[in-house]
Structure 1
């Protein structure tokens, strides 16, 4: 299960934060700060997978004691594109390579929607950003990875909102 999708710029400013599991706001803010620090300080030659900082592992264990061990968030998967970091927090049941591919499809979908996407597109068109993510992930479960369908779904949704 995907627990969160985060997008940061190189300065650590969040451009997208979407949590699929309930967390207190203070925990979310500390987690965002810790994850950015971990990811930004890694060399470009390092692996794109990280263990989750202890902050979220402790809070998830204490908040849901009946949850099976393999359903707790445990993995951070990220990719760095130009000035943006795309990050997914997931459980150990998700394939890290599939998550890297999901990030790639998400970025390609944004590129198709904005024609060479940049950070300003994400700031001024956040509705489209959330719509693209919503086409791909629902409730922490990946429902669509085909690029054409994601882009078409977002464009169709935008056409209905304009009417």
Structure 2
């Protein structure tokens, strides 16, 4: 089960925080701060998944069979100026979660055409709608890129005039052209971490 999906810019400012598990507001705030620090301080070349910090991890003496739904894994990808992070239970495949993040990024790039950080700031409805097409109640329900994009467009949540309209591929925010250059798609590049 997915417990949370988070997006941060390089300075640690949250651009999207979606929790699928009920948590106290103070714990959410501490978790957001600790997760960004944990992920952003990882050396280049590090693996893209790691154990959850003790804030939400199950107690050491807990029976593992009774805690399959307890958050225990952090999976992330770093694209130019943004970190995309998924907090999940140990029952989720980290490799599948990395693919899920990639599909989310590709969907945003299709919806905004050369997506940049400003698109995420000013069109947060599209961020949530895209995530809502993919994940419901912490369960992945769709990973087909065409169906996700069509579903978001059908909701009418995509801005008619994207924020980055009229900018070149190196527009403000600057991570738009990187996926196309690095992965043969239209938007962000994966930094291989």
TM-score (norm 2): 0.77
User: Offset of 1:53 from its aligned partner?
Assistant: 0.6
| Aligned residue in 1 for 2:105 | 107
Question: Partners of 2:16 and 2:86 in 1: how far apart?
Answer: 11
| Aligned residue in 2 for 1:64 | none
The structure richer in helix per residue is: 1
Question: Partners of 1:34 and 1:26 in 2: how far apart?
Answer: 12
2:103 pairs with 1:140: no
Question: Partners of 2:44 and 2:131 in 1: how far apart?
Answer: 26
Question: Partners of 1:71 and 1:16 in 2: how far apart?
Answer: 23
2:151 pairs with 1:156: no
Q: Deviations over 1:31-58 (max 9, x none)?
A: 0000000100011200000100100125
Question: Partners of 2:120 and 2:142 in 1: how far apart?
Answer: 21
| Runs (5+) with no aligned partner, structure 2 | 60-64, 161-193
Q: Which has the larger radius of gyration?
A: 2
| Aligned residue in 2 for 1:129 | 127
What does residue range 1-163 of structure 1 map to in structure 2 within 5 Å? 1-57=1-57, 68-158=66-156
Q: Deviations over 1:83-103 (max 9, x none)?
A: 000000000000000000000
Moved over 6 A (4+): none
State the aligned residue count.
154
| Aligned residue in 1 for 2:176 | none
TM-score (norm 1): 0.91
User: Offset of 1:68 from its aligned partner?
Assistant: 2.4
